[in-house]
Chains A and B, each alone.
Chain A
Amino acid sequence: GNSVTQMEGPVTLSEEAFLTINCTYTATGYPSLFWYVQYPGEGLQLLLKATKADDKGSNKGFEATYRKETTSFHLEKGSVQVSDSAVYFCALLYNQGGKLIFGQGTELSVKP
């Protein structure tokens, strides 16, 4: 079946460090891929998305590339800030009622 696997957290980085959060997926067909972010005490917000292979999604300095050959959608940011501290969810969408399949989430903590 369809599934998403993320690297385990929590991830703790110093400000201005490079961030990678790994995400791999299993799916039939050609799903769309998403990264959602959840700040403390809030609901999920879309961070970026990619709808086909080799697409790169980007927003707020974050980026991720849809790699069909490795079934991956790793999230990267060149220089993290304290305000990036949150839980990040990778998700895939397959076209059966628009149902999102989420990974378990990766908590990021950025220290000054």
Chain B
Amino acid sequence: NAGVTQTPKFRILKIGQSMTLQCTQDMNHNYMYWYRQDPGMGLKLIYYSVGAGITDKGEVPNGYNVSRSTTEDFPLRLELAAPSQTSVYFCASSYSTGGETQYFGPGTRLLVL
């Protein structure tokens, strides 16, 4: 089992560029999440999904978009990159809610210059 995988590991973007952060899980989990982690801060939820075709906003969704066409994949899209989006992005998944453990990917470090 690979668990949760994320690509790329690291990326530098120029202001105004766009990119997609990829996330795939092979545990057949219904729930998937995107978080960002800023230095010295905890993780903030960007978007989440409770199943294929269903997504919803988290705490900090502005500047991002998501889609969930399959159970396995949950890509995060940045349309017009801004320096404020410089962060480490983590994808996570869980089978359900109510005390279920969330499993995290290794993260994508994004630098916007």
Q: CB of A19 within 8 A of chain B? A: no
Interface on chain A toward B: helix, strand, loop, or mixed SS?
A: strand
Bitwise interface map of B from 91 to 113 toward A, beta carbon under 8 Å scored 1, else 0:
01010111111111111000000
Whose C-beta in chain A lies nearest to the C-beta of B102?
A: A100
Give 20 A-B pairs besides A43-B4, A51-B99, A98-B94 with Cβ atoms closer than 8 angstroms: A4-B42, A32-B98, A43-B107, A46-B103, A49-B101, A91-B42, A93-B98, A93-B99, A95-B97, A97-B48, A97-B97, A98-B97, A98-B102, A100-B43, A100-B102, A102-B43, A102-B44, A103-B42, A104-B40, A105-B42
- Given the contacts A104-B42, A105-B41, A43 and B104 also touching, CB distance less than 8 Å: yes
Q: CB of B90 within 8 A of chain A? A: yes
Q: A4 to chain B: which residues have CB within 8 Å? A: 42
Bitwise interface map of B from 44 to 84 toward A, beta carbon under 8 Å scored 1, else 0:
11001010000010100000000000000000000000000
Q: Contact residues of A with B, CB < 8 Å?
A: 4, 32, 34, 36, 42-46, 49, 51, 89, 91, 93, 95, 97-100, 102-105
Interface residues of B, CB < 8 Å — how many?
28
